[in-house]
A and B are shown apart, each in its own frame.
Chain A
Amino acid sequence: MSTHSIALASHKDYRGSKFAIWLFLITEIILFGGMFLLYSVYRSEYAQDFHHAAGELNTLVGTMNTLILLTSSLTMALGIAATHRGNRKLALLMIAATVVCAGWFMVNKYFEWGAKIHHGIYPGSEHLAAFPKGEQLFFGLYFMMTGVHGIHVLVGMALLTVMFVRVMNQPNARLSFVAGHGLQRAEGCHLAIIDKDGTALWKGEEIDSTMERIDVQTKYWPVKERFRVVDFNLLENSGLYWHIVDIIWIFLFPLFYLIT
């Protein structure tokens, strides 16, 4: 009896997936880039006003948030490294830590914005309308840019939560044979698990025309020596996204908080 080996999860293209996520990150950089363009033009036009308005921002909170986000990048990288080493517990812990850091960042932002709004500094307020034009623009850009960034942090939190659940349940591989789409080519055969000596560890029923669909799903956790990056493709891509969110803040922080 001849056997055909089936490659599980054989249709994933790791490099293609990585290429695509980098393309997406480029679009994110350009999305923020449009706002950085506005910032640079207005900054060059209203240098003094920007300098003055920046004094209103709380440098301590800004610095704290920078440190929090940098730490979240660390935990993200550590989490991915843990999957490479077969350390599931550490991976899950680090992903969770990243989400916690992100949450802490958002809480800080909430209080920071809250304080500004409480003092009447928010877009459209009468109080702000009395400020010099450059300062109005500064705060308009501040709320817009940290707001869009905050949305990206929230999206990242949701994404990483999903990744947490996936890593907990995965990796797994699924292969399907469907009638009309390859199943009949296996007719007369059996599904079997065969060890390296050729002994059948398990053998299924003969595949015949009454079968509509066969799904094979495996759940496994790879040891370090058998690790395949392609199994943690999505997690890696989520990590890359998260690092970009960090990088955006690396630029936002000095441009808004440190130009005093």
Chain B
Amino acid sequence: MGNHANVARAHPSVPDAADVNFYQFKGRWSGLASWIFSTDHKRIGLMYLTLMLIFFTVGMSLGFLMRLELIAPGRTIVDAQTYNVFFTLHGVFMIFLFVIPGLSASLGNFILPIMIGAKDVQFPRLNLLSWWLFLFGALIAITALFTGSGPPDTGWTFYAPYSIRTGTNVTLAACAVFVLGFSSILTGLNFVTTIHRMRAPGMTFFRMPLFVWSVYATGWLQVIATPVIGITMALIMVERSFGIGVFDPVKGGDPILYQHLFWIYSHPAVYIMILPALGAISDILSVHARRTIFGYKFIAMSSVAIALFGSIVWAHHMFVSGNSLVANFVFSLLTMIVAIPSAIKVFNWVATLYKGSIQLETPMLYALAFIFLFMIGGFTGMMIGVLSVDVHVHDTYFIVGHFHYILFGGLGFSMFGSLHHWFPKMFGRMYNQVPSKIAWFLTFVGFNVLYLPMLILGWEGMPRRYYDYLPEFQKWHVVSTVGSWIMIAGILTMFINLLHSIKHGKICTEPNPWGGGRTLEWTVPSPPPLENFDEIPTVTRGAYDVAPAEVK
């Protein structure tokens, strides 16, 4: 049984899909339709990125306003109810519309098939459906802002029984989360199947790039954990609409059970957020330190371990909610374990850098900053995993500082670094170097000025989600707010630089512009053609090994 073989040359008047990059390929549609109806994983990844960066900007603006309000005690720019809405929406936009899709939906979509030597994902149309569901869920969330009784004021966690009683648009918001969850599930399903079925010949699991490993582990979390938030949001909607009573103490319901169900998803969700970020860092370090990854197998397995252990620690978010002492003890103990695989990664990264030929390109700067910030986030996480400490700092700014270090210092910096690192591959151009480094510096300095005071404030007792506070806390609030201005200046500089470079950056079409790229995406043109590869490669070596002929 043959196949329609690679025969003659392309007819000159009709460019063949293999000769042009994927932007230039002319399919059935044109204009906007060629994007929103495209099943090409690269376009879908870019569409996710576009939406996500818009939502990030909304979330960042809300954060900016929150910090403005908090620069002084009492009312500064808005009233208390509005402030409650601000932090709810900041959380909803950042978490559900930016961090959870994160590097998986954006970069994962773009680069995963290329990294494993495939032409697309296993189910391209399902992939497009995932994006449409993401857009649809986002539109529902935005609708919740402007209609009816006003945007939700429950915090992004929608805790019962307040979420059941409040008149604000919780039902709509819960519906949005449900739809977004469905999008996430389908993406996870798609990626796990793709990685199992579409790796190039010779690419065993232990020859895959580490970003692929992390997306794989993330995919499993999406499949296993996300249905729980789906049913939880459905339960909230039905409780509000019909009063079934499962979370309502008046009818015998237990609000703590809501918290269990909520966090059974939302804790693994933070690993959904961070795992691809960790994977990307491995890849960035390898290229810009010109080194193979030290401890490849350990890092690969640690991604799976993080996914596993991260699924059994959820109630550490509930230490002061009214849990039994037994549960608190069990979950505190389990939480200690989850730090281990993360630490393994950090050790191996540092070992990778050792005796490497470190190029301080912008992606490397973000990666180094990542390691520093992720460690602070991780250490503070270990602290609050200890029951006796958390009893004091729960619901204070210490928690807020912790998760911003991990999420923003972690995923945020990894995403910024990844945008720069894979920029030439995605856009066929190079960004301007000097503004990118200035932006990095401002972002890094501003970040620490913004969030380090929060750790101090929390330790001193400043509660979170509070609109007003005692005058003794003001000093650090002022520092933090000024930090937010510096950081936002940095981020805006970065965005402007990158956006400008997409159109006007120096053209860069070589497959391997950084020179140190060893994984398969650095063997195809920048930007890649529609089906990525003219011929599916056969893999004969590990992802970060240099083939003997390539050693110079």
Contacts and interface: CB of A to CB of B under 8 A. Distances in A.
- Chain A directly contacts chain B within the complex, with at least one CB pair under 8 Å: yes
Given A124-B242, A180-B14, A180-B15, A5 B231 contact: no
Given A13-B197, A15-B197, A20-B122, A137 B245 contact: yes
A38 B254 CA distance: 9
A4 B3 contact: yes
Given A27-B226, A180-B14, A188-B8, A123 B197 contact: no
A180 B15 CA distance: 6
Contact of A35 (B231, B251, B254): B231
B252 A23 contact: no
A185 interface: yes
Contact of A4 (B4, B16, B252): B4
A19 B193 contact: yes
Nearest to A20: B193
B5 interface: yes
A88 to B, nearest CB: 26
Contacts of A124: 242-244
Given A141-B244, A180-B16, A31 B230 contact: yes
Given A20-B122, A30-B228, A140 B246 contact: yes
A98 interface: no
B231 A19 contact: no
A27 B193 contact: no
Contacts of B238: 123, 144, 147
B26 A180 contact: yes
A209 B13 CA distance: 9
A143 to B, nearest CB: 6
B355 interface: no
Contacts of B193: 16, 19-20, 23
A144 B261 CA distance: 16
Interface residues of A, number: 53
A24 B10 CA distance: 41
Nearest to B231: A34
- Size bracket of the B interface: 35 or more
A133 interface: yes
Q: Looking at chain A's contact residues, is the secondary structure mostly helix, strand, loop, or mixed?
A: helix
B234 interface: yes
A47 B534 CA distance: 65
A67 B17 CA distance: 55
B33 interface: no
Contacts of B232: 34
Contacts of B198: 16
B30 interface: no
Contacts of A186: 4, 7
Contacts of A188: 8
B11 A133 contact: no
A33 B261 CA distance: 10
Interface of B: 1-8, 10-11, 13-17, 25-26, 122-123, 185, 189-190, 192-193, 196-198, 223-224, 226-228, 230-232, 234-235, 238, 242-246, 251-254, 257, 260-261, 264
Interface of A: 4-7, 10, 13, 15-16, 19-20, 23-24, 26-28, 30-35, 37-38, 41-42, 45-46, 122-124, 129, 132-134, 136-137, 140-141, 143-144, 147-148, 179-188, 209
Given A31-B227, A144-B235, A185-B10, 16 more contacts: A7-B3, A20-B122, A27-B226, A28-B227, A31-B231, A33-B228, A34-B232, A42-B246, A123-B242, A133-B252, A143-B242, A144-B238, A180-B15, A181-B16, A184-B11, A184-B14
10 contacts: A4-B7, A27-B227, A34-B261, A124-B244, A144-B246, A182-B4, A182-B17, A184-B8, A184-B14, A184-B16
